[in-house]
């Protein structure tokens, strides 16, 4: 797929799925605008990718900084075409009665409000470019409760509904909206889960997790005509049929 001249904005881009997506989309010819809190990690990634990449240190829970980042990306590349709402956190991992209220609220701010901020700041740019795509990163946790994960499960369920609401409102306006549920991925988040020792996910071995470039490659495939039937819905990378269509197996 040739994305030369297109611009992809990726949140949570300093590591894991976000960093892998930056590499995959840049390799396909796209400019990549990279949002994350770690300026140092972003700087290293930009140095690796080259002139097609732009580091935009910001907190997705802060709307003003997200909007400023989008404006900077527009000024640098001239257009924005794809939003990948990837930023997310797992902590606090704690039972409801023991969770710290401030930490619980912080996760909601990042995992739900951060997605809203990306969409709200990005939609005018996508429409100015004649349409575009918004992809969110979902989770099987949005559909079932897991001990100690009340904040994460709640946030992913909320983000999934936000994705559906966006498709309802903007699908007819040239905005391609889809979610991707990758399953368990070999990232820092899984290290935090493992260290918690809480619920069955923490008992998985490292080799049970898929590599971060798998969801990154799936996100690129989601722009193709082969994925048109899934517009407005969430794709599960646990599905062997989907993995085959992406070219992972």
- In sequence order, the 6+-apart residues with CB closer than 8 A to the CB of 88 are 12, 110, 111, 114, 137, 155, 189
Is the pLDDT confidence value at 27 over 90? yes
The stretch 103-110 carries a mean pLDDT of: 98
Q: Choose among 4, 8, 5, 2: nearest CA to 176.
A: 8
Could you tell me the pTM of the whole model? 0.96
Q: Which of 135, 152, 214, 221 is catalytic?
A: 152
User: 7-246 maps to which CATH number?
Assistant: 3.40.50.720
**152 belongs to the catalytic site:** yes
Domain residue ranges of the chain, discontinuous segments joined by +: 7-246
The model's confidence at residue 154, banded by pLDDT at 50, 70 and 90, is very high
CA distances 249 to 21, 83, 207, 237, 243, Å, are 19, 26, 16, 11, 6
Task: With a cut of 90, say whether residue 147 has pLDDT above it.
Answer: yes
Half-sphere exposure of 240 (CA within 13 A, CB side): 0
**10 and 84 in contact (C-beta within 8 Å)?**
yes
pLDDT at 1: 86
Taking the C-alpha atoms of residue 182 and residue 86, their distance in angstroms, rounded to an integer, is 11
């Amino acid at each position: 797929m040739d994305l030369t001249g297109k611009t992809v904005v990726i949140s949570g881009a300093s590591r894991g799925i976000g960093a892998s997506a930056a590499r995959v989309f840049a390799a396909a010819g796209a400019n990549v605008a990279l949002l994350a809190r770690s300026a140092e990690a972003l700087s290293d990634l930009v140095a690796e990718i080259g002139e097609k990449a732009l580091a935009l240190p910001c907190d997705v829970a802060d709307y003003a900084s997200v909007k400023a980042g989008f404006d900077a990306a527009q000024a640098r590349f001239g257009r924005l075409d794809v939003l990948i709402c990837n930023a997310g956190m797992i902590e606090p991992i704690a039972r409801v009665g023991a969770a710290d209220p401030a930490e619980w609220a912080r996760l909601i701010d990042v995992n739900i409000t951060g997605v809203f901020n990306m969409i709200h700041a990005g939609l005018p740019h996508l429409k100015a470019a004649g349409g575009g795509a918004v992809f969110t990163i979902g989770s099987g946790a949005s559909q079932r409760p897991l001990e100690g994960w009340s904040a994460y499960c709640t946030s992913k369920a909320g983000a999934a509904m936000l994705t559906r609401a966006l498709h309802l409102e903007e699908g007819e306006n040239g905005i391609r909206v889809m979610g991707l549920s990758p399953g368990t991925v070999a990232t820092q988040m899984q290290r935090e889960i493992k260290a918690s020792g809480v619920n069955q996910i923490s008992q998985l071995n490292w080799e049970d997790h898929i590599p971060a470039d798998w969801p990154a490659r799936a996100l690129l495939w989601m722009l193709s005509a082969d994925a048109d039937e899934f517009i407005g819905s969430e794709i599960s990378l646990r599905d062997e049929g989907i993995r085959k269509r992406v070219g992972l197996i």
